[in-house]
Amino acid sequence: MTRAQRRRSTLKKLFASTALVGGALSLAFGGAFATFTDTVSAGPQTISSGKIIIATGPTNTAGTAATAIVPGDTITREIDLNSTGATANDASITLGFTANTSSLLNTDATNGLHLSVSECSVAPTGAPPTYTCGGTATQVLASTPVANVVTAPVALPALKSLTAGGKDYLLFTLTFPATAPGNLAVNPTACSGTGATENMEGCTSVLTYNFLATQRAGSAQ
């Protein structure tokens, strides 16, 4: 073998050895290798949703009827409103009327019934139609035509029931305006007509009180 041949043979062996070492290194660094790790946990965190609940009672005399009323009469009933079963506060509580039986008493905004609401700081004494507030009486709703309340619920502001666990003693007074017309000689048809010919006699309305509580606005917790 000549010197040139021996040199080429040696170079081939050197290249082969280098290739083997390179492949081994590639396997070592390209495959699985040890990694430092650490883990930590936080919590557990309990998250629960609130409940919006309003109820009436223990006193609720809204179902006590008033018959044969005449202009100038007032009809006062007590409805205790509470949120004792709630766990979340309210942004508002509104009152609406459903007229199960409708008449001019609940459709005429001028001569029909008007509603006002007051809140007593303690449970009122008495029974329909006469109540006495032995504490502080606060007006919640000024005189408003029942016709308007049937059309669109009205807000009852500053109630204790807006806060979960709160309770209000509410007195609802329906007033039949003293100026309500009724003259069978002018209009012999009971509960009909408009303006000068309106006859408010012989009207019957059946009203249901509807309270709606709406949750407070969302906030950071």
Per-residue pLDDT reduced to its tens digit, 159-188: 999 999 999 999 999 999 999 999 999 999
**pLDDT value at residue 196:** 86
**Residue at token pair 């949703």:** 49
pTM higher than 0.85: no
Quick check: 213 and 93 in contact, CB under 8 A?
Answer: yes
**pLDDT value at residue 25:** 42
Q: Which two tokens stand for residue 21?
A: 């070492």
Q: How far, in Å, CA of 93 to CA of 98, rounded?
A: 16
3-class SS at 64? coil
Per-residue pLDDT reduced to its tens digit, 110-129: 999 999 999 999 999 999 99
Whether 191 shows a pLDDT value over 90: the answer reads yes
Reported in sequence order, the residue ranges of the chain that DSSP labels E, i.e. its strands, are: 55-60, 74-82, 90-101, 114-120, 125-127, 130-132, 137-145, 154-155, 167-175, 206-215
Per the prediction, the chain carries an average pLDDT of 90
Contacts of 152 (CB under 8 A, 6+ apart): 96
Could you tell me the end-to-end alpha-carbon distance of the chain, in angstroms, rounded to an integer? 89
**pLDDT value at residue 20:** 44
Q: Which two tokens stand for residue 1?
A: 């073998």
Cis ω before 44 (30° cut-off from 0): yes
Per-residue pLDDT reduced to its tens digit, 32-64: 678 999 999 999 999 999 999 999 999 999 999
Whether 15 shows a pLDDT value over 50: the answer reads no
Smallest CA-to-CA distance from 64 within 86, 84, 81, 79 is with: 79
φ and ψ at 100, to 5 degrees?
A: -65, -35
Q: Quick one: pLDDT band at residue 86, thresholds 50, 70, 90?
A: very high
Instruction: Name the residue with higher pLDDT: 167 or 28.
Output: 167
